[in-house]
Copies of this chain bind each other. A is one copy, B any other.
């Protein structure tokens, strides 16, 4: 099992969710976040004043899924969330050792779905 954590533009969430649903992925958790990528530290000039790139609002989407769906989900996030402009976001993959459905106590692959 893997956790796929995508930090995306808030405006892309609904599209991503619908696309995930269309490939049978229903389980996901969403959190409001803010962040900076590599443009942080870059300065810009606005009306004559130098300014620092600010924290931008982002949405964190977490999907725990079976390893065999990993590539499909990553591809779908890239397709759904790209605009080509800087700030489209990042995807981080990490290991999940166990999943438990609280209602039934089920564990493992049956609990992920």
Contacts and interface: CB of A to CB of B under 8 A. Distances in A.
Contacts of A32: 31-32
A102 interface: yes
A110 B68 CA distance: 25
A10 interface: no
A100 to B, nearest CB: 4
Contacts of A92: 3, 64, 96, 98-99
A33 B34 CA distance: 13
Given A8-B102, A97-B2, A103-B85, A90 B78 contact: no
Nearest to A52: B21
A37 B84 CA distance: 31
A30 B55 contact: yes
A30 B67 CA distance: 27
